[in-house]
Amino acid sequence: MFAMDRAAPFWLRALAATLAGGLTPLAFAPFDIWPLALIAPALLWLCLRDQPARSAAWLGWLFGLGFYGAGVSWVYVSIHTFGNASVLLAGLLTAAFVAALALLGAAQGWMYGRLFGRGTGQWLGFVGLWLIWEWIRSWLLTGFPWLYLGYPLIDTPLALWAPLGGVWGLSLIAVLLGTGCLQLVLARTTGSRLLTAGLLSLPLAGIALLPYSWTQPSGAPLKVALVQGNIPQELKWESGRLFDILSRYQQLSWQAGQVDLLIWPETAIPSTLYRAEPQLRPFIEDLTRRGTGFIAGLPSVVPDENDPNRGVYHNSLAVLAPQTALYHKQRLVPFGEYVPLESWLRGLIDFFNLPMSAFSLPQGEQQPLPFGSHRIAAAICYEIAYPELVRHSSLASDLLLTVSNDTWFGRSIAPDQHLQIARMRALETGRWLIRSTNNGISALVDSQGKVNAQAPRYQSAVLVGEVQGMRGLTPYQRSGVWPTLLLALLCCALARVSRRRAARPLTQT
């Protein structure tokens, strides 16, 4: 492998880059081969070394094809199974989605070749750019913050860094360790090896120095019940099913016994509260008499600020007992919850007409949900993947709550990836996390990101357990992504200095 240097043919580099991309998702749940999170990016860097910008762009794109092609293959399930697209059409749409995402890898490769293609410190430029492009991916075109390289490290000793730098910091460490170890082998001078070894020792030494916990318990534990209805996606939005669906959730809820807080998942109520209220009223009144709180996902409608005669729909979480409050989803899934270029695409195929694909973004900042003395930071489905969004909402909260309907993903790897992401949010913020889903994976996660209790997936179930409110803030909650971004920029600056020194003799001749 190390023979792949300047003389290696492009086809060999292309093959290795594609293979590296395809292997990287095996580092994530449910496979959890976490060393690949270090090895795969190092292999990509080996392919990119000393390549001109154009070649590096192609190699980055091929890595992206393998990375997203294997890592988000579950998109096909949503399009084909629930979007009613044919096998051919679903395959083409999935391929187009993967190819478009891979353009981010192409841009990253081009920038590496353009800025850092020479010098002994070029590996640091690769490390810095990786983190910068993960950050860009969190907001560009509403963002796709999935498969960040730090997630596979959540079950390793390096996870102690997450409360300081979040998943961003773990991503930086993963690329630093993997690429740095390769640089140790390739370095030609003792000075370069010593400098590299020193940099590699920093995250490893931190494991022995960092505290285990940054937050402390606050108040008595809450006994909670998560109701997993396992409603088939193809039946959920059918007219006439509302009564049966609500009846199933109510019957399952009574199995939980006496609890402090009852939670139903995303759009468990497949209707506005106005339509569901007659059937729910006796249930809510009984919960209130028992002193049980009740939070459920549902679509909500509010008057349009610009046109009071028009209603605007939101994907929402509602506190329905003992008090009332609403949280509206702030990050919507393209095509699943809104249709980009709606006037052109709506009606072309069934996939562009999915039920409840006309949600809107809320006006103004969303507040934590109140429950007694607790404040609960909410995230609906896809939102839990946005580190900065959850970090911000957690600042005034002592618990995290995420609800989801992962039925869209079938029996693919997506629910496992989704739970791993949610676990990272708990670890970053030092908060217990409640995860309620329609068919799995419903779970209670402690403030260290460990699963405390989990319901069986793909079946109706009720998960009962205790969660603990937490007080205090982690360093990541206070500072966010910016310290890690500054470290990434410092890596890039050092790589540029190295490149200029490498080019200096050429200039003199």
Active site members: 266, 329, 381
Give the 3-state secondary structure percentages of the chain, helix then strand then coil, rounded to 5. Answer: 55, 15, 30
470-471 and 461-467: which strand pairing? Answer: unpaired
Contacts of 28-32 with C-beta under 8 Å, sequence gap 24+, read: 28/71, 28/147, 28/151, 28/152, 28/413, 28/416, 28/417, 28/420, 29/151, 29/413, 29/416, 29/417, 29/419, 29/420, 30/413, 30/416, 32/152, 32/155
Distance separating alpha carbons of residues 427 and 431, to the nearest angstrom: 7
Distance separating alpha carbons of residues 290 and 322, to the nearest angstrom: 10
Q: What are phi and psi of 185, to 5 degrees?
A: -75, -40
**Among candidates 71, 66, 63, which has minimal Cα distance to 146?**
71
Residue 465 parent element (H or E) = strand 461-467
Distance separating alpha carbons of residues 366 and 372, to the nearest angstrom: 18
Specify whether the CB–CB gap between 455 and 440 falls below 8 A: yes
As a dihedral over the C-alpha atoms of residue 372, residue 460, residue 462, residue 385, rounded to 10 degrees, the angle is -50
